[in-house]
Structure 1
């Protein structure tokens, strides 16, 4: 495994049902040279780790590392430390890569020596498949703007220089659910040459009930609030027309985070205080959206928790029904 150009990093947690398909996709690449596969088992309580070890015994490009559970943000940091490639490609354990992913990325690297490469993605959710190609390269400023709005905010749709990751650490309040959005912004701001591969090279499955997007707690929404509050402050300096949008999203995330934390008791007091102070600050912006959020904000600031608890319980039950349906559909 010399002259590694691309390191595919796969964080793994509770992915027993999906991990074989994921690993099959990365070991069956049309290009069998210049890449490695770094698998980090983040303390999975199921058989995910065993399955990864099984593949590592069969395929020399796979290296598996086991650790106690740290969460995806810290697991990615470990993956970066273990990787040897000049470029980093991310694959989630419940997703899969196109057989030509490495071949296409290497070709684009050789052609352009790009800092960051975007490629097309296919999404599958509740039986509906959508394809999102990137038809053409845009000006660097336009692509950076899209990273701020969340258009390009998932790490598995891009290959980037490993050097861009060195020294980066996702803030604690974003590590649960906003690490992609935060790191995407850092990558786009560092990149001076961004290239595009229009073809679909990644297949994302959104139906895994164990994934972060199917959770509903204070930590999840704390990340949601934090990334939009972070984007808001960037936009105040560089994208004035996006300020109201970012403020509204941050406002909604803060209300949800505080309300959910009252039920799940999963946010430390410092984060709860931060949410209250941030809601006070956000009221100076033109906030769009539902009157419900504005009412709950008033309750939070005045320490009236009853309506927030009722809202949180309603939202949790709604998500539980949704997840039960997903699990039922999978069994069928």
Structure 2
């Protein structure tokens, strides 16, 4: 079999997609026509998605894996990879938000030599179609937080194709709904190509995005940062020393020197910022080649810290107001998002480092 004729296996995780799955399968068949298979991994959908998929297998090159319980998209993708026959493995959503008409282009890119082809919302001509502003903001924040880990514009895409060798013998530990990021961090590849597409709002069915998905993503992101970058681990340690400095000087200034607690708190915050900057400058980012004067970096560090507060408050408000998540839980998301924002912006702007080698 010539490389250009490598069989394609498209893995489609499903949960309550009865209204979409039939139309999606027909559109994929119209786009590819031959030399492909579809592997549907269904997590016991109450709406009968699995049964509909079984019926579709009589007329299309399609197999169905039935799993007990709602086990998550990431693990569903890996379950599909395990049984897939193709040398080119693809992943797409079942809700028609990923356009089947560009599947041939993604497959062609892999067959022409690329290791991974990604449908991207963040390259020229890519984007969102009829999407709520809050959903766009959440997507952009998540993408920005993930970018220091990889050299890809849209590492959070759920629409991609790759050569089997990229994930062969790679220990993947999927959490939640995003597996491409982990593949990009741990996989074996050289060339990645991104092509634009418009991510459309779903027309049928319900979105699976909720607070559990968001929390799972933050946990996954932190795990990947710890496994990928020594700088992130150092940044976390420095952050812990900042907490100690903050608490100590708040107590000292308020209890010993008798300052009003809010005044003491303001000074303690700035002292903790100076502490964090000092240790990050001489330890965390000591290999950064940014020639800026130390006072300029300190000013940037302060601005990033202020912007992190804005991120925290924005997430708190947005998650509580629009996603109807309990405010204390929303605040946890805000703290996590602010911390990742802090690290990302300091790495990319204060010390001008985009990725650790």
Contact 2:107 2:117 in 1 (8 A): no
Q: Give 1:210 deviation, angstroms.
A: 4.0
Match of 1:79 in 2: 80
1:19-98 equivalences in 2 (<5 Å): 19-29=21-31, 31-59=32-60, 61-69=61-69, 70-98=71-99
Which of the pair is proportionally richer in strand?
1
Larger Rg: 2
| Residues 207 and 223 of structure 1, relative CA distance in 2, 3 Å threshold | farther
SS at match of 2:89: strand
Whole-angstrom CA distance in 2 between matches of 1:152 and 1:167: 25
Contact 1:38 1:83 in 2 (8 A): yes
Match of 2:159 in 1: 157
Whole-angstrom CA distance in 1 between matches of 2:202 and 2:97: 12
Match of 1:274 in 2: none
Whole-angstrom CA distance in 2 between matches of 1:119 and 1:207: 20
Whole-angstrom CA distance in 1 between matches of 2:128 and 2:72: 24
1:86-235 equivalences in 2 (<5 Å): 86-111=87-112, 113-121=113-121, 123-126=128-131, 148=150, 151-171=153-173, 175-187=175-187, 190-196=188-194, 198=195, 200=197, 203-205=199-201, 210-213=206-209, 215-217=210-212, 220-228=214-222, 230-231=224-225, 234-235=228-229
Q: Give 1:185 deviation, angstroms.
A: 2.4
Deviations 1:241-283 (A, max 9, x none): xx79xx9xxxxxxxxxxxxxxxxxxxxxxxxxxxxxxxxxxx9
Whole-angstrom CA distance in 1 between matches of 2:207 and 2:26: 20
| Residues 236 and 210 of structure 1, relative CA distance in 2, 3 Å threshold | farther
Contact 1:22 1:97 in 2 (8 A): no
Contact 1:49 1:66 in 2 (8 A): yes
SS at match of 2:308: coil
Whole-angstrom CA distance in 1 between matches of 2:193 and 2:93: 22
Q: Give 1:83 deviation, angstroms.
A: 0.7
| Residues 166 and 212 of structure 1, relative CA distance in 2, 3 Å threshold | farther
Q: What are the ranges of 5 or more consecutive residues in structure 2 without an aligned counterpart?
A: 122-126, 137-145, 240-274, 281-300, 314-324, 334-357
Contact 2:172 2:186 in 1 (8 A): no
Number of residue pairs the alignment of both structures matches = 239
Match of 2:329 in 1: 312
Q: Are positions 1:15 and 2:17 aligned together?
A: yes
Contact 1:86 1:162 in 2 (8 A): yes
SS at match of 1:117: strand
SS at match of 1:231: helix
CA root-mean-square deviation: 4.3
Q: What are the ranges of 5 or more consecutive residues in structure 1 without an aligned counterpart?
A: 132-143, 248-282, 295-307, 317-332
